[in-house]
Structure 1
Amino acid sequence: MIAVICAMESEAEHLRRRLDEAHESTPIDLIVSGIGLVNAAAATATLCVVERPGAIVNYGCAGAHRDDLGPGDVVLGDRVVHVSSQIVLPSGERKPMGFLFHVNEVRTETDAIATDPALLAVARHAVDGSALPPWPGETVAPRVVVGPIASADIWTQHGESIRTLHDLHGSLCEEMEAAAIAQVAAIHGVPFLAVKDISNNELRRATEATARGLPSLESLRPELGRRAALVVEAIVREWSSAGR
């Protein structure tokens, strides 16, 4: 069984519509965790204990960390970085702490959690030569790129801060669930992959704010996670055809 986790129902709808035709023999459990690291960790821990999936794929929308990544582009995460795990030194400098967890009483400290190599290979093969629908108002088909995904309960809009994160971690995008899902999956020994499509690029244009002064992607809701869902469908087909 493959478990697919996304944060919002609006993201899940894109895959749910196609789920019945996405595979031939591999059961799929589509889970909406809620937004943020705590919600994602709780959902993943329950999943791993109760169902013990063969793999976990997390998909949804993300903000770009590079100028050249535009709305609709898809990132296959080759690793996940927990960018809100840090120490603020007496000097005011922020030092990344990365991940700290125990598996069978063995302590693990790591700057990033790498994607399962076999699962990433399946994903690469699945998207090879694929064509995704352009973002509204765009004429060029979105790209699929591979690289690190930054994760935190933080929405970074400050351009210099985004560039600092990219320079430090090589991150292509940021989102709010993958670090938690990756860590819980690692603790339980379940292969994990994050697939994110770019919804906003604050380096190009600041996301519009609500009356409360908070950024909102509500007007883009029909597009959020749509292309990532298509990629996940292709991955599930590839996984199923390989008899996994």
Structure 2
Amino acid sequence: MMKKFFALIIAALLWTAAPAQAEDLGVGLEDISAEKYNVHIEKFYATLPQAKGEYKSRVRPILIEGAMNTETEILIRALKNPVVYRELNYLFVAGTYKNYPVVIVRTEIGMANSAASTALAIKKFNPVAVINQGTAGGHDSALKIGDIVIGERSFDYTAFRSAYSAAGAGIDLTKQENIGTYAYDATTKKFQAYTEYFADPTLFNIAFKVANANKNFNAVSGVIGTGNCWLECVDYINFLHKKYGSSCEEMETNAAAQICQNAGVPFIGIRVLSDNVTNTRGYVPTMAKTCQDFVLLVVEDYIRDVLKR
């Protein structure tokens, strides 16, 4: 029953997002599993022109990141004249949106993949700004599935030093100190520990402007916690929320922010809640569509108000 439930959800996403393309690929929308969905999306990507030579653009593009096909498909389909690049098996699709160059990268899941693909993208495409987006699990019981967290800052909730305890004393991870992750500081010209990375103020303000102008999105300022974990221990989630102010958790944002700090590239993380075990056991991965729709509006305003001003 659960597989059929997720199949129906994914089918609904494909129907609302891009029915014409799905029909062109011969996808049977009435019976699509997650595996079949990914196979057919890969077939769609294979129909796109493959890049020949290095990327060239008169202006620096905006880079938008998502870890999975469900977090990037709508963004990629929104591009005009898309061209596919692959580096170290990561997928990059370059095109234009609102007559401005945009690159979408499918980072793949996890912190190492996020950092690696972000570094490759910065080196290859020289973006003017980076937006990392996708789904997340809620840490704040006031938030519900479908709510958007505009990341004022992010942190690695796995980067901590535990308090000493002798063998047999038991495990208590609430006795910890966040030690941060190391990134380059342009002032000291050295790598130093950052316990958190702040969003670029311009990107942050534009994201809130979009939220205020589009009341169909429920967006809040928040703190994005990143780690290679999927937490379902409500007591520990509540601890992280109380100690660090975490609004949600996911697996990529802070790693991308760390690389952008190294490179001096403006960055913001934007996440939509697909689940929140502090108030419900539901899980709706197709909320990824909501986040992509919101991010496209942010990109549109950023292009108009900042890049083409």
- In the alignment, which residue of structure 2 is the partner of 1:98? 180
TM-score calculated relative to the size of structure 2:
0.68
CA contact (8 A) 1:14 1:225 kept: no
* Paired AA for residue 272 in structure 2: D
> After the TM superposition, which parts of structure 1 deviate over 3 Å for at least 4 consecutive aligned residues?
19-23
CA contact (8 A) 1:99 1:109 kept: yes
Gaps of 5+ in 2: 1-60, 81-94, 166-171
Can you list the C-alpha shifts for 1:172-217, whole angstroms capped at 9, x where unaligned? Answer: 111000011000011000000111000001112335xxxxxxxxx5
Can you list the C-alpha shifts for 1:83-131, whole angstroms capped at 9, x where unaligned? Answer: 1111123135322112222346423322210001111112111222214
Gaps of 5+ in 1: 133-141, 208-216
- In the alignment, which residue of structure 1 is the partner of 2:248? 173
Q: 3-state DSSP class of the match of 1:46?
A: helix
Highest CA radius of gyration, 1 or 2? 2
Can you list the C-alpha shifts for 1:34-93, whole angstroms capped at 9, x where unaligned? Answer: 000011011001111121100000110000011121111001000001111111231353
CA contact (8 A) 2:136 2:273 kept: yes
- In the alignment, which residue of structure 1 is the partner of 2:55? none
Can you list the C-alpha shifts for 1:137-172, whole angstroms capped at 9, x where unaligned? Answer: xxxxx5100111111111110111011001111111
**Count of equivalent residues:** 223
CA contact (8 A) 1:149 1:174 kept: yes
CA contact (8 A) 1:127 1:234 kept: no
CA contact (8 A) 2:70 2:289 kept: no
* More displaced stretch, 16-25 vs 223-232: 16-25
Calculate the aligned-residue CA RMSD, in Å.
1.9
CA contact (8 A) 2:150 2:269 kept: yes
Seq. identity, %:
27
* Paired AA for residue 108 in structure 1: Q
Candidates 74, 79, 84, aligned match of 1:19: 79
What is the CA-CA distance between 1:22 and the residue it aligns to? 8.2
Larger RCO (alpha carbons 8 Å, 6+ apart): 1
Candidates 102, 108, 113, aligned match of 2:197: 113
